[in-house]
């Protein structure tokens, strides 16, 4: 009887160190994303057949970009015209600059002549200042044209960005659900589709504080099999629903068949 009393505490301590709590977790896609519109537009087409498929470089929603496309074309034409005007005014400025230099030289020469009348000197100065004013006015026009060209080029970039955002294309993503239909009108912030990153998977567990001790160093067992997986992330604030537990994630490869399979998880 005394032997049993001595061995009982020893048995309890060994059982705590060897056995771990059993948890069950669903194999979930690594990330779930709600795609939202960043523009206002009419929905022209929705690929309903793509729902429930893993897609790679597939267009699932088309928004009306007709007005933006016309605006881009018009802006490019305006840029070409402004660039021609800029070229012409640059030539005029070069010619006027030569005229200014000649008029300035003539004025300085005649201004030094004692034989030149005041009227001749005034006329020479007037011609010089008039040429300089024309030159400066042309230079000002050149700067204005350059600024207009920059503004239009920026406008084109904005329009092209808007056009790009009106073709919703998925690359290596799983289309879970489409939230709009052909004929709908969307505004910025309107939910378009729910997609999931199914290139890898995760297991979400809720562990108590005792289980979290050195948890990232422990071995993860799935369905009783030892793995090389490690705890990927631990939340430091207790979960709102499971108030005495902490959310924990394990990242694993994407399953070959289906997601949402229930897996037994032990961490020892």
Query: pLDDT at position 110, please?
Result: 87
> Which SS3 state, helix, strand or coil, does residue 100 take?
helix
CA–CA distances in Å: residue 228 to residues 18, 64, 221, 265, 268: 19, 49, 9, 13, 12
Please give the pLDDT value at position 112: 86
Mean pLDDT in residue range 202-214: 90
Report whether pLDDT(235) > 80: yes
Q: In this predicted structure, what is the pLDDT of residue 35?
A: 95
Gap between the Cα atoms of 161 and 74, Å rounded: 16
pLDDT tens digits, one per residue of 92-134 = 999 999 999 998 898 888 888 888 888 888 888 999 899 999 9
Per-residue confidence (pLDDT) for residue 203, from 0 to 100: 93
Q: What pLDDT was estimated at residue 214?
A: 87
CA atoms within 13 A on the CB side of 87: 6
User: Could you tell me the two tokens for 176?
Assistant: 């879970």
Chain-wide mean pLDDT for the chain?
88
Q: What pLDDT is recorded for position 4?
A: 40
pLDDT tens digits, residue range 153-203?
999 999 999 999 999 999 889 999 999 999 999 999 999 999 999 889 999
Q: What is the pLDDT of residue 19?
A: 54
Using CA atoms, how far residue 60 sits from 42, 53, 178, in Å, is 15, 11, 9
Confidence check: pLDDT of 147 > 80: yes
Cα–Cα distance measured from residue 218 to residue 268, given in angstroms and rounded to the nearest whole number: 5
Taking CA atoms, 166 is separated from 75, 142, 157, 197, 244, in Å, by: 19, 36, 14, 21, 46
Has residue 3 got a pLDDT over 80? no
Of the pLDDT bands very low, low, confident and very high (cuts 50, 70, 90), residue 221 is: very high
Average pLDDT on 126-150 reads 95
Residue 75's nearest CA partner among 163, 166, 148, 145 is: 148
The tens digit of pLDDT for each residue in 10-62 reads 333 333 344 568 999 999 999 999 999 999 999 999 999 999 998 988 999 99
Calculate mean pLDDT across residues 143-156.
Answer: 97
Given this model, what pLDDT does residue 154 score? 97
What confidence score (pLDDT) does residue 16 get?
37
Residue 239: which residues within 8 A CB-CB, separation 6 or more?
A: 206, 245, 246, 247
110: Cβ–Cβ under 8 A, 6 or more apart, which residues?
116, 120, 121, 124
């Amino acid at each position: 009887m005394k032997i049993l009393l001595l061995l009982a505490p020893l048995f309890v301590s060994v059982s705590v160190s060897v056995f771990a709590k059993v948890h069950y977790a669903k194999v979930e896609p690594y990330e779930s994303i709600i795609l939202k519109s960043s523009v206002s537009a009419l929905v022209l087409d929705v690929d309903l057949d793509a729902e429930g498929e893993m897609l790679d470089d597939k267009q699932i929603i088309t928004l009306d970009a007709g007005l933006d496309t016309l605006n881009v074309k018009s802006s490019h034409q305006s840029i070409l015209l402004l660039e021609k005007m800029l070229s012409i005014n640059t030539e005029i400025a070069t010619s006027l600059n030569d005229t200014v230099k000649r008029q300035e030289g003539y004025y300085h020469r005649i201004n030094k002549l004692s034989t030149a009348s005041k009227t001749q000197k005034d006329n020479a100065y007037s011609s010089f200042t008039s040429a300089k004013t024309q030159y400066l006015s042309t230079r000002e026009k050149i700067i204005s044209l350059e600024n207009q060209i920059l503004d239009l080029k920026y406008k084109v970039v904005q329009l092209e960005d808007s056009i790009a955002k009106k073709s919703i294309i998925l690359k290596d993503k799983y289309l879970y659900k489409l939230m709009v239909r052909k004929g709908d009108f969307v505004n910025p912030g309107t939910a378009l589709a729910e997609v999931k990153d199914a290139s890898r998977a995760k297991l979400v567990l809720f562990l108590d504080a005792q289980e979290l001790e050195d948890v990232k160093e422990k071995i993860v067992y799935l369905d009783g099999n030892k793995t090389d997986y490690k705890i990927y992330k631990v939340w430091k604030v207790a979960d709102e629903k499971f108030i005495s537990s902490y959310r924990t994630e394990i990242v694993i490869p994407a399953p070959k068949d289906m997601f949402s399979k229930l897996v037994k998880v032990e961490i020892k």
